[in-house]
Amino acid sequence: MTPMSRRKAIKLMAAGGLAFSLQPKFFVLASEYPTDLNEFENDFATAAFAIDLMWGGNINDPTGLSHVIVDAYTSGKKQPDLGPPNLMQLFLQQGDGVRDEEAIKSFIKHNNLEARFERVVDYANGLKDIWRRSYLLNSITVLKVHLNLRKSLAGLIKPVDPETCYLAAFGRAPYFIDASEKREILRQRLSAVKVETTTSMSLAEAVEKWSQKRLLDAKGLEKNWPLFNREMIQRTRERIFPYLPKYVTTIPENIVDFGIVWENVNFSGLNLAKHTIDKNGNPVYHTVVRMSSQVTKAEADYKLNLVAHEGWPGHGLHLPLTHLLYSKKMYGFETTCFILNSPAGFLAEGIASATSYLLYGQDVKSHLSPDELVAVAFADLAVAGRNNVTVKFIQGEQNPDKLVQFLYHEHALPLKDASRYCRWLSHPLFGIMYLPAYGIGAEMIHQAVRTYGREKVIPVAYGTQGQIDGISFPECMTRFAAQAV
């Protein structure tokens, strides 16, 4: 998943496209499975969908390019009734370009968002399940920040402090991830594959030199997806499944609609969870994975840092497993409205960005080829950079050229990618609340693997020990590890 797939939010793609209705477009379900929303579900979904719409989000856009805050809706239930229609249409057409104060206030009032927030918080506080309670309260905190950011964009309230946004999304104040050891590991692994890493050559140049000799273009990405996907599924079955409940084996492998996007878009890869529930309450799985034709990758980089990220054991396993746990009534409705820029989001990105450590623990050298080791080291440094450049931005360095150079020199990112990520920083949502998710999440998972071993981390990270997010993960991890002794 990547926020650069959100066309209206980032506004870096060509104008145009179809207008989509907010009416539900799921399967017609029989009466056995209740498709009407209860009071809590209606409150949560209305708040999420209304705020999403005010930012220009359209969950019914089948391309996924208009997804902004609500990244997926998989409950199999009706979507909430928003209104009034004229304002809905206005936001669909103009998104966060709508700055009319009265229109925004009227939409918030019509959908009764403040009262819904209060009722959801009351509902959460009444839950005995501590992990779900935390997940739900954290989700509401993030939605409130999203709403306040939208209000401030229209001048209704004062600007929201960037540290408040970072804290809501990640549960901690802005902090730098130490990249010095990551740079040294990458340098050593490049040397092992006979790529010069002298002081006269920047680390980014060395990475590019390594990549150019092993490059896959768009045709190569398309050709190799089935092969690499099959390989990563097999690795997942051998290395991840033994530490998950047996019901995970009911998730089918062939649920992915894969394709290359040939027009010019601003994302590397995306995973859209299109899952739903059938009339008997059973999970139905469907995943859309798209790769940009503009992306070129070394084979090992593609396999371990894109295929594994969007497929198994990354989002392609984690999101269907979340759906399965909801269908088994082990998770709450809120997990079917996947909120981007959230603690749940950075846990998901952490899993997808640390798949090699979940597969092999600290002992990656014994299992991966020299080129694969370079790919893992490069990804570790690059995702740390996404967080670090955000922190520099929050601390006041907002010169785009200096931020690009920071990513290039300190984190080995190619100038094209560094420029793309720095453009995210200009967006009030994705710059502060999403760009760091990969690095913070990956660092959290990697640290847990170092501390507890991957065998204990896997059940917690994939959520089979409770409905957790990135904020509650450390406590759940500590408790589970103590019980497993």
pLDDT at 268: 80
Question: Could you tell me the pTM of the whole model?
Answer: 0.92
At 330-371, the pLDDT tens digits run 999 999 999 999 999 999 999 999 999 999 999 899 999 999
At 242-276, the pLDDT tens digits run 999 999 999 999 899 999 988 877 678 889 999 99
The more confidently predicted of residues 31 and 277 is 277
End-to-end CA distance of the chain: 35
Reported confidence tier of residue 10, pLDDT bands at 50, 70, 90: very low
Residue 191 CA: distances (Å) to CA of 183, 186, 318, 409: 12, 9, 34, 18
CA-based nearest residue to 232, from 289, 321, 298, 305: 305
At 303-321, the pLDDT tens digits run 999 999 999 999 999 999 9
pLDDT at 31: 56
At 188-236, the pLDDT tens digits run 999 999 998 876 678 999 999 999 989 999 999 999 999 999 999 999 9
CB 75, CB 27: distance < 8 Å: no
At 50-88, the pLDDT tens digits run 999 999 999 888 877 788 999 999 999 999 999 999 999
pLDDT at 15 over 80: no
Beta bridge partners, 272, equal: 288
pLDDT at 6 over 60: no
pLDDT at 466 over 70: yes
pLDDT at 101 over 70: yes
pLDDT at 202: 87
Average pLDDT over the chain reads: 91
pLDDT at 9 over 70: no
pLDDT at 20: 28
- Work out the average pLDDT over 1-30: 37
pLDDT at 184 over 90: yes
Place of tokens 């496209």: 17
Residue partners of 174: CB distance under 8 A and separation at least 6:
162, 163, 166, 390, 391, 394, 395
Residue-wise over 336-351: b if at least 16 C-beta within 10 A, else e? bbbbbbbbbbbbbbbb
CA-based nearest residue to 93, from 132, 63, 66, 129: 66
pLDDT at 402: 97
How far apart are alpha carbons 286 and 455 in whole angstroms? Answer: 28
Segment among 6-20, 30-44, 187-201 with least mean pLDDT: 6-20
Place of tokens 């409130």: 144
Handedness of CA 310, 314, 315, 320 (dihedral sign): positive
Reported confidence tier of residue 26, pLDDT bands at 50, 70, 90: very low
Residue 267 CA: distances (Å) to CA of 29, 32, 221, 292, 380: 34, 40, 14, 6, 19
Give Cα 182 to chain centroid, integer Å.
23
At 117-150, the pLDDT tens digits run 999 999 999 999 999 999 999 999 999 999 999 9
pLDDT at 3 over 90: no
pLDDT at 199: 66
CA-based nearest residue to 269, from 231, 230, 316: 316
At 413-459, the pLDDT tens digits run 999 999 989 998 988 888 899 999 999 999 999 999 999 999 999 99
